[in-house]
Amino acid sequence: MFQLSIPWWSIHNGKVYDEVLKKEKITHNELDSALRQAGCNSISEVHFAILESNGTISVKKKN
1 pLDDT more than 60 = no
For residue range 3-50, list pLDDT tens digits in order. 555 668 898 988 999 998 999 899 999 999 999 999 999 999 999 999
Q: Which distant-in-sequence residues (6+ apart) come within 8 Å of 51 by Cβ?
A: 7, 8, 9, 10, 20, 24, 26, 57
Predicted local distance difference test score (pLDDT) of residue 3: 52
At residue 6, the pLDDT reads 60
Q: Looking at domain 8-61, which CATH architecture does it have?
A: 2-Layer Sandwich (3.30)
What pLDDT score was predicted for residue 33? 95
Q: 36: left (phi > 0), else alpha (psi -120 to 50), else beta?
A: alpha
Structural domain spans, the chain? 8-61
Is the whole-model pTM more than 0.85? no
